[in-house]
Each structure stands twice: as C-alpha cells, then as structure tokens.
Chain A
Amino acid sequence: MLNTPDSVPAAQITARPAAFRARPAARPALVALAALALLTGCSGGIAQSVSTAVKDSSSAVATARIALRQDMDGKLTKAATDTSLEDGLKEVEAGRSSVLKLSPATQEERVAQKQALDVLDQCAAGFATARAALAANDGGSPSLPDGDKALADAQDALKQLEGAVGSR
C-alpha cells in the first residue's frame, strides 16, 4: 500500500498542524460577549451598589470583631490582629469610595447615598479606634474593649442601614 511509508510512521513527521486561524464564526461570539458585558455592567444602580458596599463592610466589621475578641482572649498574635484590621479597613474604604463615586439622580437616591456614607464613615472610625487600641496595648486609651465597642456600634448602624436598603 502506497501510503504505508517505510521505517518511521509518517504520522510522526508530517508537517503538522492544522491551521489555527481565527475563524469568522468567532467574531459574532465576541460581539455577543461584549454586549453581555455591557448589559450586566450597566444594570444595578444606586441601591445595588449601596447594598454591595454595606454587605462587604459588615463582613469586614464582623471579621475585625472576631479578631479583636481573639486577641483579647490571647488566641491571636498582635501581628495577625493588626493585619486583620488593616484588611478590614481596606474593604470598608473600597466600599466607601464606590458609594462616593455614585451619581444619584433622585432625592431619594441622594438620601440613600448620604446615609450609606455616614454609616461607612462610622465603620472607618471604628476601625481607627480599634487599631489605635491595638497599638496602645499598654492599658492606655483607647483600650481594646473601646475598640470593640466602636466596631459593635458600627455593626448596629450597618444592620439598620441594611434593613432600610432592603425595604426600599
């Protein structure tokens, strides 16, 4: 048979490969993908952004409270607590700046933005107190319980806001 070459099977030496060219079919798919991205990117609006920021921040504040409590119980090293607080603060800051960037269109949305910013500011302040307490961990003020109190208050404010955003 002609196509059975000698020695090495030809499969190994064929100048392979089948063309890898951008197929025309790929283009409509890309367009569809881009359109989808645009659609999902634009949906949501103020309430959506506020609720995301609030949810992320309440997760961060809850984390910080656990870390502080563990620190007070001697379960967490200062370095780890400090890192936890720093990460949490970063999360709150990110949420705060995303709310800050919103451009509300109605009076109601302006109120929502203002309320959210107030609460997120309170969270950031709570983190500041907690970090100061950790740094001044020599019986001075603020003490760790003060830090925990500030975060707990922020947590309550977040919960109220969450309720308000949810009911709106």
Chain B
Amino acid sequence: MKRLLGVALGVLTAIGGFVDIGDLVTNAVVGSRFGLSMVWVVAVGVVGICLFANMSGRVAAASGRATFEVIRERLGARAGLANLSASFLINLMTVTAEIGGVALALQLASSVYYLLWIPVAALAVWLVIWRVRFTIMENVAGLLGLTLIVFAVALFLLKPDWGALAGQLAPSVPEQETVWTYSYYAIALFGAAMTPYEVFFFSSGAVEEGWTVKDLLQERINVLVGFPLGGLLSVAIAACAAVVLLPAGISVTSLSQVILPVAEGAGKLGLAFVLVGIVAATFGAALETTLSSGYTLAQFFGWSWGKFRRPAEAARFHVAMIVCLLIGMAVLATGVDPVQVTEYSVVFSAIALPLTYLPVLIVANDPQYMHEHVNGRVVNVLGMVYLVIILVASLAAIPLMIVTGAGS
C-alpha cells in the first residue's frame, strides 16, 4: 500500500513538475498562432524526455553519478568545461525566466507590478532551497502544479467544436505563417518539452534521494506515466489558446494572455486555480533550475553538493546558487520581458541538448558504469534516432532564429 502511494505520488509530481514557464508560454504562443498543428512536436518531445530522463536516472541509480560528473569523466576537463559553460548559461537563462514567471503570475493575482515581486520570488526560492527537505520541496511544488489541469477542464467547459479541433492536428503551416516560423517554433516547442535542466535535476535528484537499482522500477513508472500526462497538459494549454485566442487574431506575447481562455471557460474559480498552478509550476521550476545550476557547477568541479548535506558542508554549492539567483534578479531588473527570456531560453535549450544527451547516451552503454543495467537494443535504436533529431534541431535553431527574426 505504502509502495503504491509512493508510485502515485511520484507520478503526480512528475505531471505537475513537467510544465514550467517554457511549456506554458511556448504552448500558448504556438496554440494561438499555429493551432494544434504542432501537437506532434510535443509528442516527439515527450518521448524524447522519457527516453533521456530514464537513461540518466538509470545512470545515476546504477553508478551513483549524476549527469555532470559523467560528462566530466567522459569528455575530460577541456571539452567538459565548454559543455559546462554552455549548459550552465542556458540554465541560468531558465532560472531567470522562471523567476520572471513567478513574478508575472503574482502580478496577475495582485496587480502589483511584477518587478516588485522579483526580489520576493528570488528570496523565497533561496529560503526553500536552504531550509526545506528535498522530497517535501519536490512533492509540494509538483502537487500544487497539478492545479494546471484546469487548462484541460477549461477546454471542456469552452465546448469547442471537437471535430474542427481534431482537424488541426495534422502538421500544416497556417497561411499567415511561413514554413520558417513554423520550424522555428517547432524547435522551441521541442526544447520546451525536452528542457535539459529536467535531466540534470532528475539525475541529481536520484542521487539526493539515494536511489539504487531497486528504485529503478518506480523511476520508470514516474517517467513513463507522469511525463506523457504532463505532455497532455501542454497540449491542453495549446488547445485553449487555439480555441479562444487564434480566432480572435491574438498571438500570445504575455502571460496575461495565456490565462484568458481559462477565465473564459471556467470563470474566476478557474482563474484562481490557474494562478496557483502557474505560481507553483514556475516556482517549482525555479527551485529545480537553481538547484541544477548548483549541481552542474559542483559536479563538474568536484565540490560537495546536495541538499542532503547541511549547507555548511556544501558551502560552495550553496554560494553558487545564491550567485545565480542574484544574476537572474539583476537581468530581470533591467526590465527585459520575462516572456521573451522564456522564448529564447527554450530555443537555446534545444541548441544545447546534444551536449548533455550524447554523454548520457554513451555512458548508459558503458558496462564499467552500468554493470548489467546498460541500455537494451530497443532503447539504443530509439536513442540513436533521437540523437539525430536532437542534432538536427540544434543545428537548425540558430539559422532559423536569424531568418525569422526570432519567430516574429
């Protein structure tokens, strides 16, 4: 019974933890501009993140090593450092976007200007990282994030023409868009679903929680059930935008537009749920990304890391995270639009994906680390297919960004 409860909790937090500011914004933007014609990208991304998270969780459980320890060991100091710098900077960008997301959601709830919420949000992130136990932090954020299911509820309450909605599912470029903007947003959506920080976080979390190969089954269930359901939630966000905003000629550029369909379908109660959900999801993701930045640095440089140690025993790890939060705050204080930071962060996430994916794929095949838990044949075939997809997305992203003027 207790085990079943554990599995249920794991799955629920995986659903709630799947959606972050990147998924919220990108799905709403895509839904409002391209309808449901990019659902296939979410599907490809979800299969990818399942594969990738599963592999890195398995590496962590079987070898006791988290992603960046592996990257450093496999690539060595120099190539590893280049990899670390890129991954770290993109992670920092995501921290910034998430904190901005928390602040924007709090503005929607209170009408107090979001810039005033930023120090509050950053301080709260720091306090939780400093004081709250890892499992509690994970479960509370994940469960509260589940209130985002209101997007799916609102979609039903909006009573859309389901036939017409299903008709949008075929991949096609709407007439007011070009094939270039379509491809650009496809990559952004792929990056939003595959967010590499989830993988650093997932594998470091496995070490934090002291996973062993015995926990692999539960890990697999969490990922294989939780992430696809999280993916469905992303599709619901896009569908809401496609039903309410697309016909009105609105293309999403702010968080206040993302919530309008929910208010349309489910009124003030729905609005309350969606605001709680957005705050929880972005706050949870802010915790995860901040921790990830600490994890990546500490794992690479060989510092003591982890929330399971007292802060004094992992001083550099904690200082690194404080510095990251301060940098994120400083960036937001310039008045840069958090939604725009988000849009760039998901694209850069897609660009940086091969950097973490390839080492994990290689190590998951290495019997010295994995013993009998090396990748099976099916996983390897899928793994190679995704390596190609990830490489193509990564290489195409920058040229597409230039050609489309970042999707405008």
Contact = CB atoms under 8 A, between A and B. Distances in A.
* Chain A contact surface mostly: helix
A11 B368 CA distance: 10
A79 B263 contact: no
A17 interface: yes
Interface stretch (A33-41, A100-108, A142-150): A33-41
Interface stretch (B58-66, B72-80, B120-128): B72-80
A68 to B, nearest CB: 11
Nearest to B110: A79
Given A80-B108, A84-B256, A16 B368 contact: no
Contact of A20 (B78, B263, B271, B368): B78
Given A66-B248, A84-B256, A77 B405 contact: no
Contacts of A36: 399, 402-403
A75 B271 contact: yes
Interface residues of A, number: 37
A18 B76 CA distance: 8
Contacts, number: 105
A8 to B, nearest CB: 10
B260 A16 contact: no
A40 B253 contact: no
B111 A79 contact: yes
A33 B402 contact: yes
Given A20-B78, A83-B108, A40 B263 contact: no
B233 to A, nearest CB: 21
B260 A63 contact: yes
Contacts of A87: 253-257
Contacts of A77: 109, 268, 271
Contacts of B82: 20
A18 B257 contact: no
A58 B110 CA distance: 26
B271 A66 contact: no
Given A20-B79, A62-B249, A67 B405 contact: no
Contact of B257 (A12, A17, A75, A84): A84
Contacts of B81: 20
Interface string B79-121: 1111000000000000000000000000111110000000000
B143 to A, nearest CB: 24
B174 interface: no
B338 to A, nearest CB: 12
B408 interface: yes
A133 to B, nearest CB: 15
A19 B251 CA distance: 46
A91 interface: yes
A70 B264 contact: yes
Given A12-B368, A17-B77, A63 B402 contact: no
Nearest to B337: A90
Nearest to B249: A62
B156 to A, nearest CB: 16
Interface residues of B, number: 40
Contacts of A12: 73, 368
A70 B257 CA distance: 12
Contact of A75 (B110, B251, B264, B399): B264
B78 A33 contact: no
Interface in B231-265: 244-245, 248-251, 253-257, 259-260, 263-264
B253 A56 contact: yes
Contacts of B160: none
A5 interface: no
Contacts of A79: 107-111
A82 B81 CA distance: 46
A139 interface: no
A52 B402 CA distance: 17
Contacts of B6: none
Contacts of B267: 74-75
Nearest to B82: A20
B6 to A, nearest CB: 35
B398 interface: yes
B249 A59 contact: yes
State the 6 A-B residue pairs at the shortest beta-carbon distance, nearest first.
Answer: A17-B76, A16-B76, A79-B111, A87-B254, A84-B256, A20-B78
16 contacts: A9-B368, A11-B368, A20-B78, A37-B402, A58-B249, A62-B250, A63-B250, A66-B264, A67-B260, A70-B260, A77-B109, A78-B111, A80-B109, A84-B257, A87-B253, A87-B257
Given A63-B257, A75-B268, A79-B107, 6 more contacts: A11-B368, A17-B75, A17-B77, A40-B402, A76-B271, A82-B111
